[in-house]
Amino acid sequence: MLTTRLPKLAAICAFAAIAFTGCSAAGSGGAATPSPTAAASAESTTAEGGGTCADVQAEIDSIRTSVESISTQVPGDIPGAVATLSTIGTSLTTLQESVTDPDLKTHVDTLVTEVTELQATAGELANGEGGFAAAASILTQLGEVESALSSLTAYCELQTA
């Protein structure tokens, strides 16, 4: 259990450090650019179309990989973590629009809500806003994203079995 929470704890500490020091995602004045990991994820996360679990499983797997990469990007690549969250949000919006199964859509909608909340908090921290309260909520929000993603995955496993 400690092993799975350690990267998340590192992430919250990094976000807290940013919030306390007032650093922005852009660093010393330049515009934030997505990391190569985030750019590669953007290319690999366009929805394949279709509206059932079988049609979108590859997209769900890609989103899971991107979510897992967030904890490895922090603390060294805060702009990359924010860019990854943006890519995930875009992928989820595309996925949300392509889903026709009502139960699957409910799971995707829940995941979209959780990711949107995490994006907002991470954006605040990257801009030096939100303070310790926002930094403290990152760990909880990331856990909620992972929980929603696990629920979506479990639903699809039942549908495709």
Q: Are 57 and 155 in contact (CB under 8 A)?
A: no
How much is the pTM? 0.69
Q: Which residue has the tokens 């039942």?
A: 158
pLDDT at 74: 64
Distance CA 117, CA 6 (A): 22
Per-residue pLDDT of the chain (161 residues; tens, 9 = 90+): 444 554 554 455 444 444 444 443 444 334 444 444 444 333 333 334 468 898 888 999 999 999 998 877 766 676 787 899 999 999 999 999 999 999 999 999 999 999 999 998 888 878 888 777 777 787 788 899 999 999 999 999 998 87
Q: Tell me the CATH class for 9-15+34-160.
A: mainly alpha
